Amino acid sequence: MSCLPQRCARQLLREPFQRGSLPLFLTPAFSPSHTQCFSTSFPMQSRVGGAAISVPPEVSLNLVDIPKTATRARGKDVPKFTAQIKGPKGEMSLTIPSFLDVNYDAANSKATLSVSDAEQPHQRAMWGTTRALLQNHIIGVSEGHICILSMVGVGYRATIESKPTTVTASYPGQQFVSLKVGFSHPIELGIPEGIKASTPQPTRILLEGVDKRKVTQFAAEIREWRRPEPYKGKGIFVNGETIKLKAKKIK
């Protein structure tokens, strides 16, 4: 009497274990000596965090210890010292967690970061993040960060105003970006401190600043008033942003 293929396969695998031996053709597959991992390389190295950072000659990088009384963080991100970066565009500071070390070679103008335990997922994640933030600060104080916003639409215009009509200034001398983007009234947005805004053309807005986060955040706030729409291609585009146009639905 013939058995089903599935039942025969289960019986074939069960009988060798009961007898204490395996058929010769199954020995390589069940041999413990052939069991190995997919990769035997060292997986804990961060490609972003381990890369060296070039420090321009006009930029100074100093590491200052933080007193224990001044630290307010808890848990894994307790800062140990602060990296102070100064350059021709300004100065910035970045707090470094306790498990990270910054090695600055002034002779070669290189800075590298290392972690105390690369096997910890949190430390590996913050390794690359802190390295990217430090590089952004160095570029900001030496060259600066910019965002270019393009306005596409009939009647879309932007100007820089010093005396707003709908909002009040949050600090002395604050300027405002006035947008005409299809509403019955102009949209006035206060320019944050540390950011310089200009309009080389009526449909172009140029944002400049030392802090990349502030520059991109303010650009996102401007873009939010007229996000690019996919049917006519109108809206406010940031840094050459493109969208895929959709065909109109015809009933």
Question: What local confidence, expressed as pLDDT, does residue 21 receive?
Answer: 61
pLDDT for residue 142:
96
**134 within 8 A of 94, measured Cβ to Cβ:** yes
pLDDT of amino acid 34: 47
User: Residue 171 has what DSSP assignment?
Assistant: S
> Mean pLDDT of all residues in the chain?
85
Report whether 178 contacts 162 (CB < 8 A).
Answer: no
Four-CA torsion 192, 193, 194, 199, nearest 10 degrees? 50
Q: What is the mean pLDDT of residues 28-53?
A: 62
Query: 3-state SS of the chain: helix, strand, coil percent to 5?
Result: 25, 30, 45
Q: Which residue has the tokens 């320019």?
A: 191
pLDDT at position 73 is 57
Tell me which of 219 and 27 has the higher pLDDT.
219
Q: One fold for both 53-142 and 145-238?
A: yes
Which residue's entry shows tokens 């947008």?
179
- Alpha carbon 70 to its chain centroid, in Å, reads 28
Tell me which fold the domain 53-142 belongs to.
Outer Surface Protein A; domain 3 (3.90.930)
Find out whether 206 and 197 touch, Cβ atoms under 8 Å.
yes
- Report pLDDT for 75: 60
Is the pLDDT at 199 greater than 90, yes or no?
A: yes
CATH assignment of 145-238, among 1.10.150.120, 3.40.50.300, 1.20.1630.10, 3.90.930.12: 3.90.930.12
Tokens of 236: 């406010």
Rg of the Cα trace of the chain? 30
Per-residue tokens: 42: 């060292």
- pLDDT confidence bin for 48, thresholds 50/70/90: confident
Which pLDDT score, from 0 to 100, does residue 160 have?
Answer: 97
Range 5-22 average pLDDT: 58
Domain ranges for the chain: 53-142, 145-238
Region of poorest pLDDT, from 65-74, 77-86, 95-104, 109-118: 65-74
The answer to whether residues 160 and 177 touch, using CB atoms and an 8 Å cutoff, is yes
- pLDDT per position as a tens digit, 117-133: 888 888 888 999 999 99
Share of the chain above pLDDT 70, in %: 78
The pLDDT of residue 80 is: 79
pLDDT at 78: 75
